[in-house]
């Protein structure tokens, strides 16, 4: 047993001696040797990665946005200064003009009133005092206007009135179209109230009157006082008293006539009054008040006489009353009214 043990010890010692004489290379030495044996060009270079913080990107973005905003503000400011949207002229350079309608209707009266003035009125200082004439328009309903001299004007529907440039110093008004009722409060022979139409001039010496201005025609009704009616060149004229009417066609003044219809102011009072009135006259007043056309198909109907009054009544209600009263019939064909029946004898 001891001999076997001794043999094993001798074998171990011999092996250990061999290892000390030729030691086993370490792992690092093997790796280093392998690297030295590889060519230099086959060795891959080492990459270096640098991570930038996120907040630097955010700061750069904010800086770019602020730069663009500042540039836009600068461009917009310069553009606004160079090309303004609207300009306002200085007060001293404002030029006021008279509407062409006022010049056409009132030039005759202006020439007559300015004929005795000094020629210095054409100087620049005099021209600066010109103001725009005031215009009043009534479209779908009547309109009452109180003028600065205390006079009152009631305009019918679809009517327009224009004052002179220096009213009330020059108490001239122009009825451009339509119907107007005037109530003049102050009478002044040196500065009379004057109404101009397309072909006429009415100088007021009374207090209340109505003028209807049509194309190249003027119709005057005087309720109180007197009114002088003439054509524009004063070659023909007439004095119209209370209860009278007159008219001018073109340049010709017709003779005065008595006002027979109590309804010439119905557009203002909203009343229609008839007292044993022929139906022809009744229909004519209805046409004027409602602005319609009524055709009487049988001439015998015109001989019928009617007594009655209407206030703020519709057209159909009035026509129904007349139909029942005289056994008539009526229809409406696209705005054209027609009246049928045997009529009266």
CATH of the domain at 139: 2.60.120.1440
Does 24 fall in a domain? Answer: no
* Domain end position, chosen among 258, 280, 308: 258
d(CA 194, CA 147): 13
Sign, CA dihedral 185-189-194-199, equals: positive
- Indicate the number of domains in the chain: 2
Q: Which domain holds residue 289?
A: 266-340
Task: Please state, as a whole number, how many other Cβ atoms lie within 10 Å of the Cβ of residue 99.
Answer: 13
Measure the CA–CA gap between 237 and 215, rounded to whole angstroms. 19
Can you say whether the dihedral through the CA atoms of 76, 82, 88, 90 is positive or negative? positive
CATH of residue 274: 3.55.50.30
Query: In this structure, what token pair is assigned to residue 62?
Result: 């904010």
CA distance 321 to 33: 134
Q: Do 270 and 192 belong together in one domain?
A: no
Q: What is the dihedral of CA 236, 238, 244, 250, to 10 degrees?
A: 10
Q: How big, in percent rounded to 5, are the helix, strand and coil portions of the chain? A: 35, 30, 35
276 and 249 inside one domain: no
Query: Which residue's structure tokens are 């008004």?
Result: 173
Give the residue from 194, 225, 258 where a domain finishes.
258
Ordered per-residue pLDDT tens for the chain, 345 residues = 556 556 656 655 665 555 544 444 555 455 455 545 544 444 445 444 444 555 555 666 666 666 666 665 554 555 444 333 233 233 333 333 333 333 334 343 344 334 333 333 333 333 222 234 688 888 888 999 999 999 999 999 999 999 999 999 999 999 999 999 999 988 888 899 999 999 999 999 768 999 999 989 999 999 999 999 999 999 999 999 999 999 999 999 999 999 988 999 999 999 999 999 999 999 999 999 999 999 999 999 999 999 999 999 999 999 999 999 999 999 999 999 999 999 998
Question: Where is the domain boundary, 258, 278, 302?
Answer: 258
Helices marked H in 143-217: none
Closest CA to 156 of 144, 171, 147: 144
- Contact in structure between 247 and 220 (CB atoms under 8 Å): yes
Sign of CA dihedral 68, 72, 73, 78: positive
Q: Quick check: is 329 in a domain?
A: yes
Domain annotation covers residue 119: no
């Amino acid at each position: 047993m001891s001999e076997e043990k001794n043999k094993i010890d001798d074998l171990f010692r011999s092996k250990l001696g061999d290892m000390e004489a030729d030691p086993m290379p370490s792992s690092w030495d093997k790796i280093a040797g392998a690297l030295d044996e590889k060519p230099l060009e086959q060795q891959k270079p080492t990459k270096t990665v640098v991570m930038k913080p996120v907040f630097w990107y955010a700061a750069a973005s904010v800086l770019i946005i602020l730069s663009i905003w500042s540039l836009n503000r600068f461009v917009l400011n310069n553009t606004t200064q160079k090309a303004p949207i609207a300009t306002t002229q200085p007060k001293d350079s404002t030029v006021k003009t008279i509407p062409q309608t006022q010049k056409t209707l009132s030039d005759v009266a202006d020439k007559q009133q300015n004929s005795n003035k000094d020629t210095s009125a054409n100087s620049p200082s005099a021209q600066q005092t010109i103001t725009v004439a005031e215009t009043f328009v009534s479209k779908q309903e009547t309109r009452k206007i109180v003028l600065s001299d205390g006079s009152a004007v009631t305009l019918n529907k679809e009517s327009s009135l224009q004052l002179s440039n220096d009213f009330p110093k020059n108490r001239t008004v122009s009825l451009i179209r339509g119907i107007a009722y005037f109530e003049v409060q102050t009478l002044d022979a040196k500065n009379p109230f004057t109404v101009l139409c397309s072909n006429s001039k009415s100088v007021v010496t009374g207090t209340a009157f109505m003028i209807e201005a049509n194309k190249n025609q003027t119709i005057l009704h005087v309720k109180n006082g007197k009114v002088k009616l003439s054509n524009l060149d004063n070659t023909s004229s007439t004095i119209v008293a209370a209860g009278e009417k007159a008219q001018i066609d073109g340049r010709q003044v017709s003779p005065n006539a008595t006002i027979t219809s109590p309804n010439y102011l119905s557009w203002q009072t909203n009343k229609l009054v008839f007292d044993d009135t022929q139906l022809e006259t009744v229909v004519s007043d209805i046409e004027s008040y409602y602005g319609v056309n009524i055709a009487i198909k049988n001439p015998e109907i015109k001989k019928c006489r009617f007594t009655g009054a209407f206030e703020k009544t519709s057209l159909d209600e009035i026509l129904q009353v007349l139909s029942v009263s005289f056994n008539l019939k009526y229809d409406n064909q696209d705005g054209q009214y027609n009246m049928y029946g045997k009529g009266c004898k």
